Structures are given as C-alpha cells and as structure tokens.
Amino acid sequence: MNLMEESFQNREEKKKKNITTIILIAIILLVVIIVSIAGYLVYLQNSTLKLALNGQQNEKIKQMLVFENDGTIYVPIKEISSHLGYESYNGEYSDKSEEPSKCYVQSENEVANFSLGSNKIYKLDLSKNEANYEYIYTKKPVKAINGVLYTTTEGLEKAFNVSFQYNQDNNRIYIYTLPYLVESYTSRVLDFGYTEISSEFVNQKTILQDMIVVSKENKKYGVIDLQGNSIIEPKYDNITYLPNTGDFLVETNKKVGILSKSKETKVQIIYDSIELMDSDAGLYVAKKDNKYGVIDIKGNIKIYIENDEIGIDISKFTQNNIKNNYLLADNLIPVRKDKNWGLYDKNGKQVVDFEYDSFGYIASSNKDALNLLVIPNYNVVVACKNKKYTLINSSGNQLFGAVADDIYMTISGGERHYYIAVNDQKMDAEAYLDSKGITSKDTGETSQDKSNSNSNTRNQNEVNNTNTVRTTNETNSSAINTNQRTNNDE
C-alpha cells in the first residue's frame, strides 16, 4: 500500500467515526427529547384538575365547579344533586312553589332547603315522624350565577352529607357520598370485633366526622373511630348522634342523657326523653315522670319539669310553614299547665302567664280563611282567650286585648295575606302592625313603605283601592281599641 492509499483509508475511517458519533449524539438527543416530552405530558396530566366521585372519574361534576379568586369553590345545587343521589326542586319543601330564589334537595332520608343570599340551610330528617327542622350555617351564603343557585363546598358537604377533599398539591378532588362510606366501613367494623354499623340515618352521619356508631352481639351500642379505637364503650341500649352539637344521646334502662365524644356527661341519664329545641340557644325539651321542662346543653334546668305540654301541634298550620313547634316568633316557647297556655322566652323567663285557651287560629265558617299560628315576617303569635283573638309579639307583649273575632291567612296568586276581623269588618294585619311600628324582619320596611314603592308601577285605580283599604284599616283599628276599652270596663 502506498502512502496515498493509506491516507485515503485513514480519511474514510475518520469519516465513519464522525458519522457514528453524530448518530450516537442524535440518538441521545432524541431519547432526551422523548423523555422530556413524556415528562411534560405527565406534568400536564398531573397538573390538570381531576375529580373522582366514589372512586370513579367524573368529568361532568368537574365542569360544574366555579373557582373564586379567594379559593372558594362553588357548585350548582340542583345540577349536582342527581349525581349525589338527590332529587331537586324549586321553592321550599314545606311550602311548594316555583320561586327561583329558593330550592330544596331530597333523598330517601332527608331534605335540605336553600335560599338565595342566606347562609342558613334548613334540614328535615324524613326518617322521623313529625320532626322539627334543624339548621346549619355556612361561612358564605348561597349565590346566583347566571340565574342558577350555587352553594360552597362547605354547603355541599353539610346539605348532601358528603366528604369533599381537595388536594391542591396534585390537583385532585375526591367526593364520597354517605352510602358509599357506610358500605366501605361495613366489613371493616367486623374486623374491629363489632356486629354492625347502626342502621339509623342520623347515626351513619358520624362517619363524616371520623366516627362510627356500632353494636355488639348483645345489642349494646357504642362509638368507635375509623381505626377501631373506642370512643364510647358499647354498653348502652341505644345511641343517637346529635349532629348540631356533635354529642350523643345515650339510653340505658329506659332513661336517657347526653355524652360528648370525649366521654363527658353533659346531661345525666335520668330523663324519659330529650329532644332538641334550638341548637343556637343550646336548649332541649326534657320529659320526666310525664311532665315537661327545658334544659340547656349542660343539663341546667331553664324551665322546671312540671308542665303538661311544651310545643304546638303544627300539623294544623301546614300553610304557615312553621319549622319548629317548640319555638315561635324566634323567641317564644309555648307551655301548657293544666288547661291553660303561657309563654317563656329562650332565657327561661315566663313572659306570658297561663291565661290563654290556645295559640293559633283554626278556621271554621270563613271558607277563604286558612289556619294561622304566626305572622312570620313580624314575629307575632296568634293567641285565643274566651273564643276571642289577639296578637303577642316576640317579647311576650300583647298588642291589643283579646277582642278580634278572627285572625287568619289567605293565599292568592301564591302570595300570603293576613287579616284581623272585628265586628264583621276586616283589616290588613300587616298594615295594622306597621301602624304600631312593628316592621318586617325580612325587609326592614313597613307595608306602607312597600305600597309606596310599588305604587309607581300601578295604575291610579289600584292606588285608590289601596287608599280605601288603608282608610278601612284605620277604622277597624279604632274598633279594636273601642272593643278593648269595652272589655276592660267590663
């Protein structure tokens, strides 16, 4: 081989080495690019919000969520209800209407009522007969977005009995319904040595608070945490969870009391029955030896247990939309001793003596009249004495003597109207209350204010009619005062 051929061969080998190096570098770069793309895709996938309902991905619910700048998440109440096992309707459960500013959701066991601008959700346990409404609060009220009512995820959890977990680190949302959680823990309690989870709906709610009401083979009930550790020993004949306070009503030997989840005895086990009256005030109706009274959450007696009845049969006043038969006009507790009724306030002070035959008006001869117990926006109660009627305000003050023949309600075009009838003449009850300086708690307006506000959109004939009614009301108001003076003279 001559020098020229050797030089050519060296150049060829060098060229091949360069090409090989280039190919290797290209392959390495390609691998790096592929890995980078794969990593980026994984990053995108992980950074994209995902939502799972009971362990299953749910894109429909994810699309419903509205994220606020402050981190609050809102959900459309009616739209999400079907995904959580609820039906949804406009209006209120006990006051059927198509009012768009209110809605309620209903499951087999419970109803939850929502109102636009309110952070108070009323709930009714359908598994209990003639149960009073309970209420819960949320930090932020219900609001409307494009005409649709939305609540926060806090409201979602409390109203629908679900667990809502948002892991911001991996951008994942997990929603678990109560039936799913109960089913998930049913087999686990067997491993903990218990027979079953309590079948009572209210008791099953404890799972959302990391507790479980369980029973042993001897039918004794107790409470454990989700790891099987004992909270309340299984030695009671029955246990009922009290969601508003987080405590437990326990029963043994046909007597009941209240225990906290820290095993503190809040109310001694000495009563025949205990029922929540008002969670804000922490009051309970207690029964002992067939007599009734009121105690607070610490067991202190607020109204002595010596009365024959506490509360009103509100089944007679279904159109009045009463949510609590123990507490009227937000402050008054109706109490019967022997045959007469009186009123106490939430502090346990008697504000009306036992002098009334009954509370509420029962319609009879007037076919248009409906039974009436309270005029809600004005917080006044109808009281009956010697077959005549009067109104009592939330402080227990009688607004006029028991001289009215009727105090009743009508419903026309979906609107409620209240009337006071004296000597075969009637007056508008709200106008009368306004004249006494009692304003609507909802608007802060008197009916006179509302009439003036609406008069701009009414024709002159309607204005004249309103003035005629107002004149009649003034005449009838004088009649009330005249009858009251006459009765006083007698």
Say whether 370 sits in a helix, a strand or coil. strand
d(CA 300, CA 347): 12
pLDDT value for 45: 46
Which region among 167-176, 452-461, 470-479 has the lowest average model confidence (pLDDT)? 452-461
d(CA 75, CA 114): 13
C-alpha closest to that of 434 among 465, 473, 488 = 473
C-alpha closest to that of 432 among 474, 373, 404, 396 = 474
CA 439, chain centre distance (Å)? 26
Which region among 141-155, 189-203, 215-229, 476-490 has the lowest average model confidence (pLDDT)? 476-490
pLDDT tens for 167-216 read: 999 999 999 999 999 999 999 999 999 999 999 999 999 999 999 999 99
d(CA 450, CA 99): 20
Say whether 204 sits in a helix, a strand or coil. helix
Under 8 Å between Cβ of 46 and 171: yes
Is the predicted pLDDT of residue 12 greater than 70, yes or no? no
d(CA 12, CA 307): 114
Say whether 457 sits in a helix, a strand or coil. coil
The string over 248-267, giving b where at least 16 C-beta atoms fall within 10 Å of a residue's C-beta and e elsewhere, is bbbbeeeebbbbbbeeeebb
Is the predicted pLDDT of residue 454 greater than 50, yes or no? no
d(CA 399, CA 484): 11
For residue 269, list its beta bridge partners: none
C-alpha closest to that of 340 among 385, 398, 405, 388 = 385
pLDDT value for 7: 59
Is the predicted pLDDT of residue 430 greater than 90, yes or no? yes
Is the predicted pLDDT of residue 234 greater than 70, yes or no? yes
As given in the structure block, the two tokens for residue 436 are 């006494």
CA dist list (Å): 449 to 380, 410, 420, 428, 445? 20, 22, 20, 15, 6
Q: For the chain, give the mean pLDDT.
A: 86
d(CA 97, CA 92): 7
Which region among 8-12, 128-132, 290-294 has the lowest average model confidence (pLDDT)? 8-12
The string over 311-349, giving b where at least 16 C-beta atoms fall within 10 Å of a residue's C-beta and e elsewhere, is bbebeebebbebbbbbbbbebbbbbbeeeebbbbbbebe
As given in the structure block, the two tokens for residue 120 are 């108070």
Is the predicted pLDDT of residue 484 greater than 90, yes or no? no
Under 8 Å between Cβ of 346 and 278: yes
pLDDT value for 44: 43
Say whether 399 sits in a helix, a strand or coil. coil
d(CA 61, CA 343): 49
As given in the structure block, the two tokens for residue 454 are 């609406």
d(CA 89, CA 176): 23
Residue 26 sits at the vertex; the CA angle it makes with 20 and 30, to the nearest 5 degrees, is: 145
pLDDT value for 424: 83
d(CA 141, CA 116): 7
